[in-house]
Amino acid sequence: MPELPEVEVSRLGIAPWLVDQRVDHLIVRERRLRWPIPHDIEQALGETIVAVRRRAKYLLIDTAPGSIVLHLGMSGKLRVIDADTPPVKHDHLDIVLGSGRCLRLNDPRRFGACLWQRPEETLSQLANLGPEPLTDAFDGEHLFQKSRSRQMPVKSFIMDNPVVVGVGNIYASEALFMAGIDPRRAAGRVSRKRYVLLAECIKAVLAKAIEQGGTTLKDFTQSDGKPGYFAQQLTVYGRAGEPCMRCEGTVKSKVIGQRNTYFCTACQR
């Protein structure tokens, strides 16, 4: 599943083509995504796109009457192409612009979403979310206060959206390795000092991944079709059985919260 850096890279790629453009028309070839595409998105017709934002792993295309809200699911891809480009299999939605270009959503597994949010409402999917990790609202003190008395593994804790959004499986493993924290440790048993370091590592890992265009492991590509290059800099993720890059130990793998987790028992405690 595309994680926060991949979604942010998609936003950066499509925003220059969409902002200040009129929504000329919409082509819905398949409404049956994770949730049915609502007819309400037609309220954007004839309206000018004023911004393209990201909240957690959702993209919001803002117009005066509301926002088209997109989620890429497991395998969704967004491309900005000429509107007369013939569709291919799994091209489910076109947002056609006055410029003659269109934003096209391709989603083979149909786990993605296209929703509509009015300015005065917050969709249930966007409610009760924690702070964005790359903002000042997120820091070690926030993690420390949220973690008190929590017995869940610290990796599951930092992947919990009400705690902080967008720290997905890959980046959680990488940040915990950078901070030297064992992902199996109970969240409530991590000190304030170590949470300060962990928050800094989360910010650093995510920022670096965005700079590198995200992480291509299987399905993700940037909006221009290029792969994300952060995969070349992964220190532990996907490296079970290989030597640790920091010590003489071996990278281990364990399922935590139903997700494969990678760590070094010598470096992380």
* Cα–Cα distance for residue pair 57/126, rounded to 1 Å: 10
Give me the sign of the Cα torsion angle 23, 19, 218, 175: negative
Catalytic residue list contains 77 = no
Phi, psi of 240 (to 5 degrees): -55, 135
110 is in an annotated binding site: no
Q: Which residues share a beta bridge with 260? A: 255
Calpha distance 92→26 (Å, rounded): 11
* 109 marked among binding-site residues: yes
Q: Does 104 carry a binding-site annotation?
A: no
Neighbours of 253 (CB within 10 A): 16
- Pick the catalytic residue from 185, 203, 246, 259: 259
Active site residue 3: yes
Tell me, yes or no, if 243 is annotated catalytic: no
226 φ/ψ sector (left φ>0, alpha ψ -120 to 50, else beta): beta
Pairing of strands 259-264, 251-256: antiparallel
DSSP per position, 99-150: TSEEEEEE-TT---EEEEE-TT---GGGTT----TTSTT--HHHHHHHHTT-
Catalytic (active site) residue 203 = no
Catalytic residue among 3, 8, 132, 174: 3
| Nearest alpha carbon to residue 62 among 52, 71, 70 | 52
- Inter-axis angle of helices 192-211 and 169-179, to 10 degrees? 130
Give the C-alpha separation, 30 to 109, whole Å. 12
Q: Determine which one of 57, 146, 194, 239 is catalytic.
A: 57
Residues contributing to the annotated binding site for DNA? 90, 109, 150
- Positions marked catalytic: 2-3, 57, 259
Residues contributing to the annotated binding site? 90, 109, 150
